Structure formats: C-alpha cells, structure tokens
Amino acid sequence: MAVTRNADAVAPVRSSGAFSTWLTRHASTSLGALGRICRQPFASLMIILVIAVTLALPAAINVIVKNAQSVSGSWDNALDFSVYLKKDLSVGDAENLARLIDQRADVDSVTLITADDALAEFKLQSGFGAALDQLNDNPLPHALVVRPSPGNTTTSLILLQEEIGNLPESDLVQVDTEWVQRFHAILDIVRQAIAIGAALLGIAIVVVIGNTIRLDIENRREEIEVTKLIGASNAFVRRPFLWTGFWYGLLGGTFALLLVQYGLFLLKGPVTRLAGLYQGNITVASLDMAESAGIVGIACFLGLFASWVTAARHMYRIEPR
C-alpha cells in the first residue's frame, strides 16, 4: 500500500514537469526566433510589409463591400412599386381600387396620390410653378404606391405586380427598386472575386514566407548538421523555423489591420462631408473583432504552413557528413 501511495504522488509531478519543460522549450525557441527577426530589421520589415499589404488588399475591399451593403441595407424593404391609373378614372374610383388592393394578403399598405396632390408636389419641387399654372388641364394621373408584405418572395412579388397591372383601371406599373436587386447581385459578384483574389494572395504569402525560411535554412546549414550530429531529431531542428513563420504571420496580420484602420481613418472625413451635402448620416463600418481575429489567424496559419512545408522539404536533405 505504501508503494502505491508513492507512485500516485509522484505521477502528477512527473506529468506536470514534462509539460513545464515542453512549454519552457517552446517559449525559449519562440523568443529566439523573434530575436533573429529583430536582428535583421530591414529585411524582416520588408517581408512583414509584403505580407501586410497582401492581406490588407482583400480586407480593405471586403470592408468597402460591407459598407456598401450597410448603406443599401435600408433599401431591402423598399420594394414599393407605383401603379399609374388611367387618366379618366375619378378620385372615388381610385379610392375604391386602393381599398380593394389593400385587402390582399400579400399587400402591406396602399397609398393613393391624387393627380392634384402630385401636381402640387411637382410644382413645389421642380421650380416651374408659374409655368405649370398656365396649363388648362392636369396632365398627371392618379397613382397608387403599393408596399408588398414582408413575407413575399421574388416570385410572389412578380405575380403581384402582374395581377395589379392587368386590372382595367391600371395604365402602368413601375417598379422603382429593380436596380437594388441588380446592385446586390453586383455585390455578390464582388464578394466572389474577393474570395478568389484572397486565395491567390494567400498562395503568394506562402511563397514569400517559404522562400524566406528556405534561405534561413541554407544560412544555418552547418548549425543544423552539428545539431543533428549530436542526436537532435528533425522535429527539434524544425521548431525554430516554425516559430519564425508564426512571427512573420502574426506581425504581417497585425500590420495589415493597422493599414486597413488607417485607410478607414482617412476616408471618414470625405464620407462625413459627402453625407452632409445630402443632409444624411453615413457611418463608416470597420472590421469587427471576429474579422480582425480571422485576418490575424489566417496570417499565422499561412506562416506556420509555409514554414512547415519548407522546413520538412529541406530538413531531410541536410544530414551530418
């Protein structure tokens, strides 16, 4: 029983000591890799800037698309369409038609704009009030502004427009928001292009970091041979190069975030002035925490992947003579 108690007492200590040793070795190796990067400031800075610019390009375009989508977000529900009635239709008949359409389940609301109201608004906004007063008759028809219910699909909206347009009182149905759908379709294409471009730029980052690690391995060839000569494994020799790739990725991703944030800072002034000209309020959306962490995480992964592939490829070729 006493032997069993001693074994139980020693086992956790040994496990904790092994983990502590492993953690200490990795911390020492990571600091050593960072020190090597700092001892070559100019060359390291050039590599980090290349990685940062490569990551910042798709990130910046993604932010632009996100801002465009947020600005157009209020247009998603603006699916109203105008129904211009026949010229000889009376106001009473137009009101009855508005009530009839408003009773449909796929219609949220119907607003009647009489010909007199439309002409008065046109006089006020066009500045041709004096010229329009010379008209003998009102050339404008009564119009209905129909707002579909939120539950409508694209197919049901098209069907609703066709049914209202086929009414005998209807003269023309004009959809004012078809361009919104085209705009969102363009944004979808841009997002796909960003994904493809980001994948290609990611390959470029892997090539840049991989080439840097390859040169570092060649410069330390004799050191690697001596280390292997005294019994070091390939995993042990590969460890500092993995940390070098990690630091390049981490620093490059952080610099990329700084570049994007600085670009947004430069845009805030012009965007605010533009919003003031239109008497509106436009807020420039930035990268959120998840997106920022994703950029840095992807950069670290690419750095580790590039350094692991390069080190694994060249490590087996270097053997002590």
User: What is the end-to-end Cα distance of the chain in Å, rounded?
Assistant: 54
Tell the residue number behind the tokens 């920022």, with chain if given. Answer: 292
Question: Predicted confidence band at 67 (pLDDT cuts at 50, 70, 90)?
Answer: confident
| Predicted model pTM | 0.63
Q: Which CATH class is domain 80-176?
A: alpha beta
Tens of pLDDT, residue by residue over 69-104, are 666 555 554 567 888 888 888 888 888 988 998 888
Query: Residue 1: its pLDDT value, please?
Result: 39
Q: How far apart are CA 192 and CA 187, in angstroms?
A: 9
Say yes or no to pLDDT of 38 above 70. Answer: yes
Question: What residue spans define the domains of the chain?
Answer: 28-73+182-315, 80-176
Structure-token pair, residue 63 = 């932010």
Tally the C-alpha atoms within 13 A of residue 69's C-alpha that lie toward its C-beta.
Answer: 15
Give the pLDDT confidence score for residue 243 in this predicted structure: 93
**Across residues 119-124, what is the average pLDDT?**
72
Task: Give SS3 for 109.
Answer: strand
Query: Could you give the residue ranges of the DSSP H alpha helices within the chain?
Result: 2-38, 41-71, 91-102, 115-126, 129-132, 154-165, 178-219, 221-229, 234-277, 289-315
As to burial, measured by CB atoms within 10 angstroms (0-12 exposed, 13-18 middle, 19+ buried), residue 306 is buried
